[in-house]
Structure 1
């Protein structure tokens, strides 16, 4: 009985070490998609599950992940020099950097991730992804607030500015916005914009859902937990998770599969 309980305590201790290790490795290897880091950890841990001394498992997992990260092909082509992405970055900076510095930090992180995964898309969609990443949260700026729902307010501003309808739609519908709009009574307003269902939308959701509020990369589970803590149970975004969390997970999984194949 004591031996069984002791083993259970040790497993919980290793589990906690692995969780902390994952958060650290995701941040250190910020050019590697967080979902791939998570997969490498789970794969290494599965191989070591039968190790007689579990205390060494976190160290061995870390070594395995670092080896995979060194071998990961980093795409350094970059898409920040186009007219659209430059305009998007400058617009987001003007609206967010001074007024909402943490929101700006998150935006910068989402845009970095977008540049890293854009190669998964056809050439004609890569710049749209990077631009939408820069612009997805501009609706939080006081200058743009109208309905109070940032996805809709940001998209309407972009439409007035003559931005591509596809970018407007990506901003309007990013990361499960439809469920939140329904709870807020703004579904008709959101319907003004097409929901660009497909790989491009998935990629934007992936970038947003694997970037923390401070701009650092994070895992989907940590991101969801952070949203719940920060906003509280009564917030419409948190309530909407009961409706759209599976949709968010599915989008992240689809992009993860593409990244895994691209890295193979």
Structure 2
């Protein structure tokens, strides 16, 4: 059923290009939750499609949109949809980064806390086969999020997470990445910290072990490893700044 819903979502997004894809996804999930207990299960996809089309017509007519979930809730469901089935290890890493973000968010101002958790969930969605385009996953993920109507600040966090600017430089994609703003500050540092202290399997680790694992897994010719020569100090500095904030918060 999940695969059927993915195909349905893809088709409806194409047919209703005036509606943000994130909203189509939300409508499908809501309709699925409503109808999945139907006595004749073969009719459920049809009922879901009809419900989404009604919502799309209302949106196009300028009627009020249904209530939206927290961005981090949408981010979690979107990441699950894109990664959990075919990229289980990437999904585990993303979930681990999000757990880390929930712990770290307390050092940020209130309006940035949900943004951090959302960006943590979404930071690697550009690896999904249906989103991969340029070879730079952070850029592909950010472009998808921008099309989906996600706030530009979150798109920028995903675009530049964990030193992606250096990877873009290695790949010759710096101009394309410049479509997004690099939000330098505590929020950006916190996302880098969460990513760089979470293993590929989603477990807490040190930044030193994480960097060593990246080098070993990818090999010296990989663009991500080559980028470390450019910005490893920047990554370490972001982790240290966030670590200091966390230590102060516990005093």
TM-score by length of 1: 0.69
Q: Tell me the CA shift for residue 138 of structure 1.
A: 0.1
Q: Which 5+ residue runs of structure 1 have no aligned equivalent? A: 1-80
1:206 alignment counterpart? 193
Q: Which 5+ residue runs of structure 2 have no aligned equivalent? A: 1-67
SS of the residue 2:244 aligns to: helix
Decide whether the 8 Å contact of 1:82 with 1:127 is kept in 2: no
2:96 alignment counterpart? 109
SS of the residue 2:130 aligns to: helix
1:1-16 to 2 correspondences below 5 Å: none
Paired residues in the alignment total 184
TM-score by length of 2: 0.72
Decide whether the 8 Å contact of 1:114 with 1:130 is kept in 2: yes
Q: Which structure's relative contact order is higher, taking Cα pairs within 8 Å and 6+ residues apart?
A: 1
1:144-183 to 2 correspondences below 5 Å: 144-183=131-170
1:95 alignment counterpart? 82
Q: Tell me the CA shift for residue 83 of structure 1.
A: 1.7
Moved over 2 A (4+): none
Measured in 1, the distance between the counterparts of 2:164 and 2:69 equals 28
- Residue-by-residue CA offset, 1:40-59 (whole Å, 9 max, x unaligned): xxxxxxxxxxxxxxxxxxxx
- Residue-by-residue CA offset, 1:164-208 (whole Å, 9 max, x unaligned): 000000000000000000110100110000000000000000000
Measured in 2, the distance between the counterparts of 1:172 and 1:200 equals 14
Which of 213, 222, 231 is the matching residue for 1:235?
A: 222
